[in-house]
Structure 1
Amino acid sequence: MAMNRKAFYDALRPTLGALTQANVVGFELVLDEAAKRRTPIHDLAYILATAWWESGKTMQPVREAYWLSEDWRRKNLRYYPFYGRGLVQLTWEDNYRRVGGFYGIDLVGHPDKAMEPALSVRILFDGMEQGWFTGKDLDDYIDGIDEDDDEDLREYANARRIVNGTDRQIEIGRLALMFEGALTSARYSASMQPDDPGVEPGDQSPRLSRGAIITIILGVAIAAALFFILR
């Protein structure tokens, strides 16, 4: 069964408020990537919370101190031009070189590539799964067991160390709980097929996959054949 994405967005709005088109585009990229990777629900909940928080609640790649000018960054950031970029902030030349090497991309020569949405989503997932940012990864904190909210919040709060120590860890942990609830409402499962189209934000009814359509057609054909044989 495909994820009901309309139910996902409906569950978010009481907490996040009205979502912009940019928000939805960003969420869709993350959900599509999770479907390809078959990401467990608790990991995905924390990935979503991190992306929402680190992107300034835009779900779009952002630059470090995005509210300030490039001239300010050039004059004030000692690691310029390798300042934070993306859905989660990739920072320092060594990290740009290492991550670029992983993907076969020259991120040192072209650091703004980290602002490309598709690449930024991959960095978000791979970085949190493999511990690129602080040496800690999702498996260090999230056990994937469905437990009560207090225990899940404890795990989510500790998982902040994957990206940035304990900065705002409870607030981001509560966001992860909210995303977990939204994913559950949407019937998200890591076992879903990557190409399941699900339900678009404004769509009320799930679409049938190609396999389901073929199964229905075969069933109708067999029933018709039996009708003519047995009548």
Structure 2
Amino acid sequence: MNLDIGCTRLLIGKCGEQHLLRNQAAYLLATAWHETGHTMQPIHERGAVSYFYKYEPGTSIGRRLGNVNKGDGYLFRGRGFVQITGRRNYTFSSAKLGADFVGNPELVLNPDHAADIIVLGMKSGWFTGKKLGDYVTLQQSLFIPARRIINGTDCASLIAGYAVGYDAALKAIGYGG
């Protein structure tokens, strides 16, 4: 895996600041690689405004995401390295990082903010309640079930394969050694 694509080095640095193990950093990078369409740049969820109607208040998804105002579905569409979605997630991330993501959702596309969200979120279980330490430790690298940190088991084997490659690349540069 190429560690010089997009914001990969920024993510590695943030992983180091949070004392992530090499295999944890590898899984985080694999997740970012997958979620950003292999760009390693913060992105926004694509689609016509009508695509985001499923996130509007009054829908089951919209209620779960904490969307309360008409237009919240599109306003709080997925952004970042892991595409946080919904007013509730933007409010939570704002409180944790001290940035006004609710007032200015585009701030989530700032690489520093997006990196903090993915690193702290995966480390602490912000997204689904599952965290890196539940699956990836000094003793084990359960990369396939680790997908539950972000999104159930969607593409779990594919991302696990990326993580193996990132683990080797991080080992080669001495991360965590």
TM-score normalised according to structure 1 size: 0.65
CA contact (8 A) 1:41 1:180 kept: yes
- 1:38 is displaced (CA, Å) by 2.6
Give the 5 Å matches for 1:1-231.
12=1, 24-65=5-46, 68-69=47-48, 71-72=49-50, 77-78=55-56, 79-145=73-139, 152=141, 155-189=142-176
Which amino acid in structure 2 is aligned with residue 137 of structure 1? Answer: K
- 1:173 is displaced (CA, Å) by 0.5
Residue 228 of structure 1: aligned partner: none
- 1:139 is displaced (CA, Å) by 1.0
Larger relative contact order (Cα-Cα within 8 Å, sequence gap ≥ 6): 1
Unaligned 5+ residue runs, structure 1?
Answer: 1-11, 14-18, 191-231
Deviates more, 1:155-164 or 1:94-103: 94-103
CA contact (8 A) 1:43 1:144 kept: no
Unaligned 5+ residue runs, structure 2?
Answer: 57-72
Identity of aligned pairs, percent?
Answer: 35
- 1:75 is displaced (CA, Å) by 5.5
Structure 1 or 2: more helix by fraction: 1
For 1:108 and 1:123, locate their aligned partners in 2 and report how far apart those are by CA, in whole Å: 14
For 1:74 and 1:137, locate their aligned partners in 2 and report how far apart those are by CA, in whole Å: 27
- 1:77 is displaced (CA, Å) by 4.6
For 2:152 and 2:53, locate their aligned partners in 1 and report how far apart those are by CA, in whole Å: 26
Which amino acid in structure 2 is aligned with residue 111 of structure 1? Answer: P
- 1:102 is displaced (CA, Å) by 1.1
**Larger Rg, first or second structure (1 or 2):** 1
> In structure 1, the residue corresponding to 2:165 is in which secondary structure?
helix
CA contact (8 A) 1:41 1:188 kept: yes
CA contact (8 A) 2:55 2:86 kept: no
Residue 8 of structure 1: aligned partner: none
RMSD: 1.9
TM-score normalised according to structure 2 size: 0.83
CA contact (8 A) 1:61 1:86 kept: yes
